[in-house]
Structure 1
């Protein structure tokens, strides 16, 4: 039990309030700031056409995606850290993020993304599901987290190699630049079409991960003890892997590669809980949503000639936060 632990619902309420503030700020501020009055008028369908376009065509889809993608990445990181009993676990440990990114890169490289906007998200999600199949093939029937980590490293390395090959063989500099831009991660110019693509995947994946809360608590006692308590390790692993593949695949499909959210958010939340895996899942999802939304707001309001990429901002934000937190908490693991 952490000495800073808050009552469960107090923590969730505080994080939800932070998430709400981040969402409202994301709707209000940007290249053109909106007042609260103009925001309300646009939402009510009054005659402010400029505010309505800014709200419904530009900011609302972007804010919804920032909340959903951040929640999925934070939740996936917390679930994987609990299941693998590894404080450095995040979706890329299983190769899911890298495989989804490779699917998106393939859509760009072969020109399929120009046929229809849905092609790139479909291939990115498909890449995550293919990585899931490879994980099952490589890990076999083994229940050991170490086996799963090693299989995930192999899958992730293969996906990174495929991405590097696509960059190396790009037919022209513009194709390579488009691939690199997508890999850096961004929610710029996203529409409600992207929202409808991502939300079902994120909802299904998130529900499957939240379902594993009690099983993750049992696993803190070890595989044998968890089985003695009635935990079906095979079904737990299946739900975890499928949920991660579907949810993270859907998130990466619309945002590109965004790192560190799944790694640092559970570490920020953990000292405020009793440190059991189930107590960290929902707060990590809400905290991830708030953090990514604030980071996306930052890329819009920081004055630059070109809008910063979201993956770059989360990396600069994540590394120092993670290192400071690691120095403080390293003896508790």
Structure 2
């Protein structure tokens, strides 16, 4: 299949899953009646459910899937490692720590978007620390080490907050938030995250040519006129904006940035620049499908999206490791 064919197929898949997400719910209402309630403005309860609950949930699933898939493809291209994913540089754990501190201190109750705002600030601080540790001339190896150190530190601090929490209700809320979910999200979350994510998408889309050059090695890319320090800065900024905003509005959802690029890479010929848009669409499709599964598998229980993605992604991650045995 050609590259255009891959993108067209993924676009159709996202559109179909988006429609299915809109008509999936616990209420015993048919698809036609649900879509009609979305279009018409009769002021009834079904219209409110469609417009205020299901529609923003489906839109957020697309936005977060695009962010995680695109960030994962960019990270794998920059680090030239199929096992790389956005959480490797500590952005996700930094954002999670910001949200945990907001919940523990009570700041999350200050105003409607206090929790996602705190998570976003955590992601910004995390990227600043990464840039400080890696330095302007730090290569991929230095970036990985700095990311591992930051992830370990923020993970330990999150555990410390939970361990010392005097309020069991706050601790319970923290644990459930960290599992990741799109339930009870509104257009307030969409409008907060969309501008930040869009900046990240634009930044990551501009790294395509540099990632292509990096397939020949850092020295070859530098000799071709690419500023690797600038490429690293743009990539980190794009990942921070995209993933930080995603974690801010939905909690920690892992494995999308790892699984999607791996699945789509053979279809685009291994080209990093072509993998970026394909992974963005693939991430949206995967997250929509997972969110639909959350509502179908246990409709009466609050099954967390992050748990479902871990159950899907972990076996694929182990399969990747198994296939790479013995490779230099």
1:24 corresponds to which of 3, 19, 22: 19
Cα distance change, pair 203–332 in 1 and its aligned pair in 2 (3 A): farther
Which residue of 2 is the match for residue 3 of structure 1? none
Spell out structure 1 runs of 4+ moving beyond 3 A.
321-333
CA contact (8 A) 1:268 1:325 kept: no
Match of 1:214 in 2: 209
Aligned equivalent of 1:92: 87
1:143 aligned residue:
138
Q: Is contact 1:143-1:233 (8 Å) kept?
A: no
Per the alignment, residue 268 of structure 1 pairs with 263
Q: 3-state DSSP class of the match of 1:196?
A: helix
Q: Using structure 2 for the length normalisation, give the TM-score.
A: 0.96
Check conservation: 1:78, 1:280, Cα contact below 8 A: yes
Q: How many residues align?
A: 328
**DSSP 3-state at the match of 1:71:** helix
Contact 1:41–1:48 (CA under 8 A) maintained in structure 2:
no
Q: Which runs of 5+ in 1 are unaligned?
A: 1-5
150, 153, 159: which one aligns with 2:154: 159
Distance 2:214 2:229 in 1: 12
Cα distance between partner residues in 1 of 2:316 and 2:84: 16
- SS of 1:109's equivalent? helix
Distance 2:45 2:234 in 1: 45
Worse-matched range after superposition: 92-101 or 51-60: 51-60
1:70 aligned residue? 65
CA distance in structure 1 between the aligned counterparts of 2:200 and 2:217, rounded to whole angstroms: 25
CA change 1:17–1:329 in 2 (3 A) is farther
Match of 2:111 among 110, 116, 122: 116
Cα 1:177–1:144 change in 2 (3 A) is same
Q: Does 1:290 align with 2:298?
A: no
8 Å contact 2:179–2:304 — kept in the other structure? Answer: yes
Shift of 1:317: 1.1
Change (3 A) 1:120 1:265: same
Name stretches of at least 5 consecutive residues in structure 2 with no aligned partner: none
Counterpart contact for 1:107–1:113, Cα < 8 Å:
yes
In structure 2, C-alpha distance between the alignment counterparts of 1:137 and 1:324, rounded to whole Å: 34
Deviations 1:46-98, CA, capped at 9 Å, x for gaps: 43713201201110010000110011001101100000111111111000000
Q: CA 1:328 to 1:35, structure 2 compared with 1: closer, same or farther past 3 Å?
A: farther
